[in-house]
Structure 1
């Protein structure tokens, strides 16, 4: 570690995010064995106007940058001075990713090992109220001249770095941070690596929380740890701001992916987190209905805005509705032409359903075809019944269930496989929930696309469902 060179860097930019942000000033001070051995400082012409609030903050204005070199002109110097160095900055991911993006815009690569003085200071100087550069300099008496200018901030960071070196004479913390192979190099500055390592690899919902423990983002994932890590690696301005505001991450396991979707939706409606995109108003659903045509044939149709005397089912995308109709056609041997899947043809020639019933060719009696449609309607009507949808639990020892009350989401629960579970007593395990249009959409899509659905009717349990009860609940 003694001979390692550290390129301590600070930049000023045109804005507060990462994406699209351009450098207006850069300073690199190379430190080896605790001493500054090289320096490079330059204004940079960003090729765009500087916003007023940035000019007020940095005192760098457009006029100062007219004759300044563009980044393309100084890129070789930056490559040269940082070569074979560890890239160091206060909140390193900000400076590093903007510089990397500038190189990327020139089709040049920029790859350096990174070290963050925010994270170093938190390890070696714990308990400070704030770890922003200005506040940490005030707290531990580091001279800080020319604030919000690249050289002034860089010199203060060098002093902080030297203090950290003095507090870690055996380089234990330095070596650990430089050699870490986990997501720690991507972690937000206020988040602990130990907290990340505790995250599960299971299915559920997760909460990014601010310093007061308030959720600022809620998401769902099949693998919570992997999904959280992917957030750390995203480079959008919105994600950068979210990471800066994140102090802790909490989670709730669900076992089931559909239950994770339902919990995510409910929790977003409860907390309205700052960084979640507002849940869009769900558009008017597509309605599946049926009627007797002039030939007396009962046929299905999908519509969106018409009022109809019967409404069998609702879907929130046409794709979901079509998939369900294709399923009905195949399960009950119906005719695509009389299911709204083909128009303007005399005889069916559906790309997917090859075994048409023959109604379009007069190969089956009308009463027989209508009887098949009636059986399909009976099948559809079960979706309006009260039932339990059985899904994976949070462990191999349990199952989860989703409660639909008259076809609408009304809660969920978990049951140990060893429990003497009786379907009629499910309320003992139920966690009641409010329904919403978002929950309706999630449930409808699940019902219409899920294969091998395990459904326990609460009105009348048929023999096959009793067998499923024995299989799933012992």
Structure 2
């Protein structure tokens, strides 16, 4: 590989991560067989104001770049000097992606093989306290003059690269890094590829953590390894900053998506990770209530912003509420007109429900109709009793359960498949108690309204029928 040319590159920018970031200075130094053979550097007019904090860091201000060439004027020179070279930089993905973006703005493509001196140094000089360019130079006595300027940083990176070449004369490590075909080539600079390979391919919650072990970002996935890989490959300012601060990734297996969603929500509210977008404020739920109208008929209604004296259930989308009311109408032969499904009609004429008792046409008495409503209300009260929702476990030998206390999420647990879950004493020894929230309520509500053939075990009433134990009205 003595004939291979390496284009060691450093850029200074206007800041703001990757997208929208513009180059203010660039330096490219080509190394072949350990020797510098070519060099190019220039200030660049970014066609936008340089923020004060960037000026304070680099010393580059608007006046300095006002007469400098724009990137479009030096693109040919950058393309030429890096042609047939391996693109090398400290935290290579940052420099490489910004240069690619500059070419893309011109309608041109820019593709080079990449080599990161952070990863290279970690392989060849392990055990350093920090692998930032400044700290590496201090640790191994490399001159680093004019820091945070493209030429100064590039010169230091060249010396560091030459030091690495002397430690890898057969290019074994360099070849290994250049030929990576997996997500390892996209890994955060402080994250070990061996740790990535150990990540599971099952369902659970994962944590990006900083150097002190504090969660930076929490997410859930059906396939943890695949989802984390997709994070590595995303190109956004926010993800770039997250990758730069990530030192480790942890995970918690859940075995099923319901628990993954609940644990993700609970842990975000517990830790408030800086890179999690604030959980969107859940809109006020739809409340199912009932009242006696002027005719004396017990009538169901949905309210979103009103305080009702009677509240039977809550729904987080109108679609869920309508679906449930349609079920009540069909199951208990109620009238769509008096269930909030039709308005402004004298008699019901619902496109879907044909089992109306006829109260709207005086075919049955109001007392008889209200008794049917009472049965529906009894069903609702039992539906929101405390129960267990049984789901898959983390392996084939166990099952999981979610504990709902009066319809609200209250905890979870795992239990051997051979164990039965019929009485409180059967599950409390396995229970991990959890705090509920509006987010958890919404997750549970969505699950109950979309999951087909769920296993639901009532806990508070010994009179609940077998039919209710695996109720599937929402299917």
TM-score, normalised to structure 2's length? 0.91
Does the CA-based 8 Å contact 2:258-2:447 persist in structure 1? yes
Deviation at 1:336, TM superposition (A): 3.5
Q: Following the alignment from structure 1 to structure 2, what is the Cα–Cα distance between the partners of residues 331 and 82?
A: 72
Report the count of equivalent residues: 468
State the match for 1:154 in structure 2. Answer: 154
Matches within 5 A, 1:331-410: 331-346=331-346, 353=352, 355=354, 357=356, 359=358, 362=361, 365-366=364-365, 369-410=369-410
Deviation at 1:404, TM superposition (A): 1.2
State the match for 2:8 in structure 1. Answer: 8
Cα distance, 1:364–1:152 mapped onto 2, change above 3 Å:
farther
Deviation at 1:312, TM superposition (A): 0.7
Does the CA-based 8 Å contact 1:348-1:356 persist in structure 2? no
Does the CA-based 8 Å contact 1:324-1:449 persist in structure 2? no
Long gaps (5+) in structure 2? 471-475
More displaced, 192-201 or 224-233? 224-233
Deviation at 1:211, TM superposition (A): 0.7
State the match for 1:457 in structure 2. Answer: 458
Cα distance, 1:213–1:360 mapped onto 2, change above 3 Å:
same
2:428 paired with 1:435: no
> What's the CA shift string for 1:173-205, capped at 9, x where partnerless?
111111111111111110011111111111111
> What's the CA shift string for 1:226-247, capped at 9, x where partnerless?
1111221222222211111110
- CA RMSD between the two structures: 2.4
Does the CA-based 8 Å contact 1:14-1:24 persist in structure 2? yes
Cα distance, 1:205–1:29 mapped onto 2, change above 3 Å:
same
Does the CA-based 8 Å contact 1:22-1:98 persist in structure 2? yes
Does the CA-based 8 Å contact 1:297-1:366 persist in structure 2? no
Long gaps (5+) in structure 1? 469-474
> What's the CA shift string for 1:139-179, capped at 9, x where partnerless?
11112222111111111111111111111112111111111
2:284 paired with 1:273: no
2:117 paired with 1:79: no
> What's the CA shift string for 1:346-382, capped at 9, x where partnerless?
555656x354637487395355654543333222212
Q: Following the alignment from structure 1 to structure 2, what is the Cα–Cα distance between the partners of residues 346 and 300?
A: 17
Does the CA-based 8 Å contact 2:333-2:372 persist in structure 1? yes
Does the CA-based 8 Å contact 1:19-1:236 persist in structure 2? yes
State the match for 1:471 in structure 2. Answer: none
State the match for 1:316 in structure 2. Answer: 316
Q: 3-state DSSP class of the match of 1:20?
A: coil
Does the CA-based 8 Å contact 2:404-2:411 persist in structure 1? yes
More displaced, 281-290 or 131-140? 281-290
TM-score, normalised to structure 1's length? 0.92
